[in-house]
Amino acid sequence: MTIPSSNPRLSRRLAMERFPIDGQAVKNLAWAGLEWLKTNQQTVNALNVFPVPDGDTGTNMILTMKKAYEEIEKSPEKHAGKMLAKLAQGALMGARGNSGVILSQLWRGVAHGMEHEEAITGKALARALANARDTAYKGVVKPVEGTILTVSKDLAAAAEKRAATTDNAVEVLEAAVAEAAASVERTPDLLPILKEAGVVDSGGKGLFFLLDGMLRWINGEDLDTPVAGVQPLASLNFDSAMDAVEEGQDYEVVVDFRPHKPLDIASFYAGLEDMGTSIQVGEGEGMYRMHIHVPTENRYKPIDYCIDLGTVTNVAIENLMAQMDDIGAAAQQRIEVKPIKANEIAVVAVAPGPGIARTFASLGVAALVEGGQTMNPSTQDILTSFENLPTNKVIILPNNKNIILAAEQAAGLTVKQVKVVKSRSVPQGLSAMLRMLPDGDLDEVAADMESALGDVECGEITTATRDVELDGVQVKNGSIIALHNGKLIISDPSLETAMLGLLEGMGADDLEILTLFYGASLRSDEAEAIVAAIAKKYPALEVELHEGGQPHYMFILSAE
């Protein structure tokens, strides 16, 4: 499709309306959706119900779409249906987290709906979006309204309504995008936890950005400046920016400053975009915080830029490449896993840290997949972990609620017999491993392991990423928070107080054994000091301390 050049903003839309929207146009639309989603990544990540550092919906959707786009990036295919099939396959294998898996199912539905279409018409698009909705709902055992599923349902209905009066694909897409935006704003009315946390659904918002990016590209609009240019300072989570450090992002620069006059956010962003990527801007009581990833030669430019605009009060510069090298070196530490014989049951466990991985290895897992909070493995990662094992009987322990769907998707992509034991935490996965019998019947062993999930209590301690009142607990950004079986129960400035409050909430007087895995942010002596405080208050409780090495979470607790 050739686009006239007299007025790029207008002519692109005219071209999309007058010429067939073929496979190459699909490629352009997929690129635009991905770019707009990337631009608004932190906005989506910040829409996390719990104030914990795992607001990775935007990151998961981007990585899923990135894999999908890589599948078609160099393809010369002109048949729209065939190009969409390639895109859907890439999304399927690259799916990360629940949001990524559902997104891959939506693309699968679109591809099936367009299977025989050489070009996209309005009516074909409406049918495809309806098929996407149906496919996504079928892929979730217990669909929850007020989520990305609801948004997919509402936008599909709007597309079908518009297609009844026009076959113009752009007009149908416009109707779908408008309804997606409205549907996202309604999600708190359907899901009370969203209303309590004061956020809309993150997955639905990500889907909106994806489709809106396509429409913005058609209309010749900007794909570089985020819609929500400024976030509250308390909502910024720079840890998530480390999830995918791109080539050329050598340094992370954070600058706090007070502008001399009202800040023009659009102009401010435009200046930063010439320097680097992963831009975030937060504001609170007249103070702005700017975050950016830059190449080495630009590492001082953002500082000078902010100095010209106001009074700089704080500067932080981190060498990202050195950090990534450290992470890679730690990952290279060899962990011996159990050799598997033919016809034995092999267990694959997802582990968020090297210490936890070693514990799973000591219990007899056959393969380990790195992942957990903020770093969900893809469907391909999980599939690769067991495809070459010399057995046809496999059990997967996701050990995280946001990895279960990807594990189930991987199980459906192999000819091997694979069972997913739906462990939602590391303690549940460890409890399940104690029931593993490698020579047993696969169905019986999986069922027995599943029954062991309720034998343990799980606790997690981390740092709050924003202010919120949730479950009756008032949380301040930067405070220590504790969760018991996923429920927020305490927030306090003191790690020791938070730990003891967590144990009280877990009924520590009635517990016998407590296992603690301390994270990468704590030294061993700091962890041992917490153990001493526990022993003082609960002298009858047997406490085991292990180095977990998990990021972001100071402690993961398993109690029996």
Q: Span 450-469, mean pLDDT?
A: 90
Of 226, 258, 276, the residue at which a domain comes to its end is 226
Q: Span 484-503, mean pLDDT?
A: 93
Query: Does residue 2 sit within a domain?
Result: no
Q: Say yes or no: 61 and 172 in one domain.
A: yes
Cα–Cα distance, 233 to 465 (Å, whole number): 10
Query: Does residue 3 sit within a domain?
Result: no
Q: Say yes or no: 26 and 73 in one domain.
A: yes
Least confident interval from 118-122, 338-342, 527-531: 338-342
Q: Say yes or no: 430 and 356 in one domain.
A: yes
Give the contacts of 98 (CB within 8 A, at least 6 positions apart): 60, 203, 401, 402, 404, 405
Q: Say yes or no: 88 and 152 in one domain.
A: yes
DSSP letter, residue 455: G
CB atoms under 10 Å from CB of 436, counted, come to 21
**Average pLDDT for the chain:** 87
Residue-level pLDDT at 241: 41
Tokens standing for residue 389:
């094992």
Nearest to 352 by CA among 72, 550, 144: 550
Cα–Cα distance, 108 to 383 (Å, whole number): 18
Residue-level pLDDT at 285: 67
Residue-level pLDDT at 31: 96
Cα–Cα distance, 45 to 374 (Å, whole number): 10
CB atoms under 10 Å from CB of 325, counted, come to 11
Query: Does residue 206 sit within a domain?
Result: yes
> Quick check: 542 pLDDT over 60?
yes
Q: How remote is the C-alpha of 501 from its chain's centroid?
A: 29
Nearest to 54 by CA among 435, 448, 424: 424
Kindly report, residue by residue over 72-102, the tens digit of the pLDDT: 999 999 999 999 999 999 999 999 988 999 9
Q: Which residue has the higher pLDDT, 261 or 2?
A: 261
Q: Say yes or no: 281 and 252 in one domain.
A: yes
Residue-level pLDDT at 333: 54
Nearest to 355 by CA among 503, 530, 556: 556
CATH code assigned at 525? 3.30.1180
CATH code assigned at 393? 3.40.50.510
Query: Does residue 86 sit within a domain?
Result: yes
Q: How remote is the C-alpha of 293 from its chain's centroid?
A: 20
Cα–Cα distance, 8 to 4 (Å, whole number): 7
Kindly report, residue by residue over 314-351, the tens digit of the pLDDT: 787 877 655 444 444 444 456 888 888 888 999 999 99
Full domain range(s) for residue 516: 457-559
Q: Say yes or no: 470 and 421 in one domain.
A: no
Q: Say yes or no: 349 and 445 in one domain.
A: yes
Tokens standing for residue 267:
């102009």
> Quick check: 230 pLDDT over 70?
no
Query: Does residue 1 sit within a domain?
Result: no
Q: Say yes or no: 153 and 255 in one domain.
A: no
How would you classify the pairing of strands 457-463 and 393-397?
Answer: unpaired
Q: Say yes or no: 374 and 419 in one domain.
A: yes
Q: How far is CA 377 from CA 95, 288, 444, 461, in A?
A: 8, 34, 27, 22
- Is residue 558 helix, strand or coil? strand
Query: Does residue 73 sit within a domain?
Result: yes
Q: Say yes or no: 523 and 487 in one domain.
A: yes
Query: Does residue 62 sit within a domain?
Result: yes
Kindly report, residue by residue over 344-400, the tens digit of the pLDDT: 999 999 999 899 999 999 999 999 998 876 678 999 999 999 998 999 999 999 999
- Is residue 315 helix, strand or coil? strand
- Is residue 458 helix, strand or coil? strand
Kindly report, residue by residue over 131-145, the tens digit of the pLDDT: 999 999 998 878 889
pTM for this entry: 0.77
Residue-level pLDDT at 44: 87
CATH code assigned at 37? 1.25.40.340
- Provide the CB-side half-sphere exposure for 297 (13 A, CA): 2
Q: Say yes or no: 180 and 161 in one domain.
A: yes
Q: Say yes or no: 394 and 469 in one domain.
A: no
> Quick check: 512 pLDDT over 60?
yes
Residue-level pLDDT at 53: 63
SS (H, E, C) 343-397: CCEEEEEEECCHHHHHHHHHCCCCEEEECECCECCEHHHHHHHHHCCCCCEEEEE
CATH code assigned at 283? 3.30.70.260
Nearest to 482 by CA among 506, 453, 511: 506
